Amino acid sequence: MSLPDKAFPVSWDQFHRDARALAWRLAGLGQEFRAIVCITRGGLVPAAIISRELNIRLIETVCVASYHDYVNQGEMNLLKGITAELMVNGGEGVLVVDDLTDTGKTALEVRQMMPKAHFACVYAKPKGVPTIDTFVTEVSQDTWIYFPWDMGFTYQEPIAKGSKG
């Protein structure tokens, strides 16, 4: 697996802060959401945080696989759909949550199922931004975000090669 040039490691603390910041943005919309649909697996953690902050008790998952080797985005594979009751009226009043929108392909796949839902991500890349409604932090398209659930505690190489500790 070749690593990208730009790495953006996110700690548990930082992710929690960023997910809460997303909840603040969503609360500021003045819209009351009747349910959350989280896109698994990445949407599970922010959905838990946002559901607490916005007091949303009904949480559903939609299971879409796109990164089959953690580097290259593969074909969309719908593993589990959304319950019919949440898709009523195009998903109006439903909040769809994911950790990241990269190319926007996953969001577009789910938006076809729920065109009136509100789509929110913690992080966004430029190609994915047009496919969602609310996000907190934008990173460049060539940046790979390392989420805390994908990392262990190991030494990190300095950004400038050849630096001595």
Confirm whether residue 57 is marked as ligand binding.
Answer: no
Choice among 13, 69, 102, 133 that is catalytic: 102
Q: Which residues contact 154 (CB under 8 A, 6 or more apart)?
A: none
Residue 98 known to be catalytic: yes
Confirm whether residue 149 is marked as ligand binding.
Answer: no
Choice among 99, 133, 142, 150 that is catalytic: 99
Choice among 18, 98, 142, 150 that is catalytic: 98
Confirm whether residue 144 is marked as ligand binding.
Answer: yes
Q: Which residues contact 146 (CB under 8 A, 6 or more apart)?
A: 7, 8, 9, 10
Confirm whether residue 30 is marked as ligand binding.
Answer: no
Residue 5 known to be catalytic: no
Cα–Cα distance measured from residue 72 to residue 90, given in angstroms and rounded to the nearest whole number: 31
Confirm whether residue 103 is marked as ligand binding.
Answer: yes
Confirm whether residue 50 is marked as ligand binding.
Answer: no
Residue 102 known to be catalytic: yes
The answer to whether the Cα torsion of 104, 123, 50, 151 is positive or negative is positive
Name which of 38, 40, 63 is nearest 51 in CA terms. Answer: 38
Instruction: Give me the amino acid identity at 100.
Output: L
Confirm whether residue 137 is marked as ligand binding.
Answer: no
Residues with catalytic roles: 98-99, 102
Residue list for the binding site for guanine: 102, 145
Binding-site residues, please? 41-42, 98-106, 144-145
